[in-house]
Structure 1
């Protein structure tokens, strides 16, 4: 979904989300719950942070994104949804996202992920489950 939405801005040969990220990328979560990770710096730190994701959520599908171009050709805003469920709880995970993505040289250098933490916490069983699975991610 992300490669299609970003088109020629991002390396179309990338085989995963992490492959689309620059080595010195920054991913931010402005609406992270209290005590949650708000910023992860670098592709290696992001890989470590995301490594526990499969233990807490199963993603069944992503919705078709709405793509908003900006005055800055390196910045794209996406609106999309995600349908899934909590692995341990079986509770639904029906999330809406707005992502502000900055791309340079075919790689994502900054990804700001706006999402509702209450939906995530309900699906996975609370903040302790989130922290246990994803850790601190080199948060700042």
Structure 2
């Protein structure tokens, strides 16, 4: 995808495209949607887990092992809300899939506040319930 094409996408289009990339397990392309200085925050992260990642390289390092833990199958619920800031959306969603280590089902609900500028994710706050994280992923 050329930078001009990426820059023309609305935040909602970019977010939906990113979900498709996650389902396709194309994590490198998903990371490429990020601004070099993008910030990824996890306000409800449990003790010992990162609460803030700064920069695309930190996001890439964080996502590197994702396919070893979770295989996403679908986002069966997705509602995207527009905000007064044209570059920011709020997404309510659920994800389902499979835990790789145990072959057990995976299901999680999220609220994400995502800001996009110049066709790149600049800030992503990922609100999820750490109490719902399967025991096999807590260590």
Is 1:83 aligned with 2:96?
Answer: yes
Corresponding residue for residue 56 of structure 1: 69
Cα distance in 1 for partners of 2:62, 2:14 equals 27
Corresponding residue for residue 83 of structure 2: 70
Q: TM-score, normalised by structure 1?
A: 0.77
* Residue segments in structure 2 that go unaligned for 5+ positions in a row: 1-8
Q: TM-score, normalised by structure 2?
A: 0.78
**Runs of 4+ in structure 1 over 2 Å off:** 7-12, 118-122
Residue by residue over 1:22-72, the C-alpha shift from the partner in whole angstroms, topping out at 9 and shown as x without a partner, is 011000001111111101110011101110111111111122420100111
Are residues 84 and 10 of structure 1, via their aligned partners in 2, closer, same or farther at CA, if it must alter by over 3 Å? closer
Corresponding residue for residue 7 of structure 1: 13
Aligned length: 123
* Residue segments in structure 1 that go unaligned for 5+ positions in a row: 129-140
1:86-97 aligned within 5 A = 86-97=99-110
Cα distance in 1 for partners of 2:57, 2:84 equals 31
Residue by residue over 1:97-127, the C-alpha shift from the partner in whole angstroms, topping out at 9 and shown as x without a partner, is 10000111111100000111222233xx142
Is 1:110 aligned with 2:123?
Answer: yes
**RMSD in angstroms over aligned alpha carbons?**
2.6
- Greater relative contact order structure (CA < 8 Å, 6+ sep): 1
Displacement of 1:92: 1.9
Cα distance in 1 for partners of 2:58, 2:89 equals 23
